[in-house]
Amino acid sequence: MRPVNKGKAPDKRFKRYQEAEPYLEDRLGAFCSFCEMPVNHVPEVEHKEAKGKGGEELKWKNLLLSCKYCNTRKGIFVAKGDKNKYLWPDEDDTFHAFRYDNDIPQLNEKYLQNRSEKIQQKAENLFHLLKLNNIPISPTVKDRRYASRNEARNYALDSKLGWDKVKRTPERLEYLKMIENLAKASGFFSVWMEVFKDDMEIKKMLVSVFKGTKKEYCLDPMK
């Protein structure tokens, strides 16, 4: 899960929480803060502590961008005062807490086993809250996260095959730009980072392209 830095609160007093959306998108890009799917139509302003359960409705620190699928899954389960029971991409190292080496996100047990029991539980709570490993079993199940993630992985895998062929040729810069554009269009930052995990040049490019990404987590080896 991409760790993000949304910066200080804008110099604006929001009257409605929806007014925060363009500021969040400008700083983090139009991607879900949880599943990383591109949100091309009406990104939803997500309250970490649900406003319906006492969470602060207009406070910048309580807001993130979300797709409708993650927002619906999360619902109003996180009440005021319960935020510390979960990891959050704008507060924690969510990059290492989850694995993206196949088409279904998983808890990164290798990383978490070296962390405190509290961190382990926070990661599990967020993972199960959002149902990040959900696979729709019927066309009537409205959850496009799996299909979109699978598509992004295929793009990344094909891009790596091409990149390995041209990265030492005069065509490298043109191909690098193609990877950049395709990654931004397809989203799922962590999937691209996993596919190119052994290529520091591409990883640095991805961190730069997905604005608001905390590079201090994403470019350091897992400890």
User: Mind listing the pLDDT tens digit for each residue in 81-106?
Assistant: 999 999 999 999 999 999 999 889 99
Give the Cβ contact number of residue 177 at 10 Å: 11
Confidence of residue 223 (pLDDT cuts 50, 70, 90): low
Could you tell me where the DSSP H helices lie in 16-144? 21-28, 68-74, 94-97, 109-112, 117-130
Residues, the chain: 223
Domain presence at residue 69: yes
Q: Is 161 exposed, middle or buried (0-12, 13-18, 19+ CB in 10 A)?
A: exposed
At 47 the three-state DSSP class reads strand
d(CA 167, CA 53) in angstroms, rounded, equals 52
Confidence of residue 141 (pLDDT cuts 50, 70, 90): confident
Residues 31/189, Cβ–Cβ less than 8 Å: yes
Residues 61 and 112 both lie in one domain: yes
Residues 30 and 123 both lie in one domain: yes
Domain boundary among 97, 130, 163: 130
Give residue 114's identity as a one-letter amino acid code: N
Residues 129/78, Cβ–Cβ less than 8 Å: yes
Residues 46 and 81 both lie in one domain: yes
Can you give the pLDDT at residue 137?
83
Backbone angles phi, psi at 107, to 5 degrees: -65, 140
Residues 24 and 122 both lie in one domain: yes
Q: pLDDT at residue 222 above 70? A: no
Average of pLDDT values for 182-209?
97
Residues 89 and 169 both lie in one domain: no
Residues 181 and 115 both lie in one domain: no
At 66 the three-state DSSP class reads strand
Q: What are the contacts of 219-223 at 24+ separation with CB within 8 A? A: 222/96, 222/108, 222/110, 222/111, 223/114
Domain presence at residue 5: no
Which of 53, 45, 52 lies closest to 28 in space, CA to CA? 45
Buried b (16+ CB within 10 A) or exposed e, 52-79: eeebebbebebbbbbbbbbbebbeeebe
Give the residue numbers spanning the domain of 124.
Answer: 17-130
Residues 96 and 150 both lie in one domain: no
Domain boundary among 130, 156, 185: 130
Residue-averaged pLDDT of the chain: 95
Give the Cβ contact number of residue 119 at 10 Å: 16
Q: Which residues contact 70 (CB under 8 A, 6 or more apart)?
A: 32, 34, 35, 46, 130, 145
Backbone angles phi, psi at 31, to 5 degrees: -135, 145
Domain presence at residue 137: no
Total structural domains within the chain = 2
Can you give the pLDDT at residue 112?
97
Domain presence at residue 39: yes
Domain boundary among 76, 100, 130: 130
Can you give the pLDDT at residue 40?
83
Q: What is the pLDDT of residues 34-73, one digit of tens each?
A: 999 999 877 899 999 999 999 999 999 999 999 999 999 9
Q: Which residues contact 98 (CB under 8 A, 6 or more apart)?
A: 1, 105, 106, 107, 108, 123, 127, 132, 190
- Of residues 223 and 195, which shows the higher confidence score? 195
Confidence of residue 146 (pLDDT cuts 50, 70, 90): very high
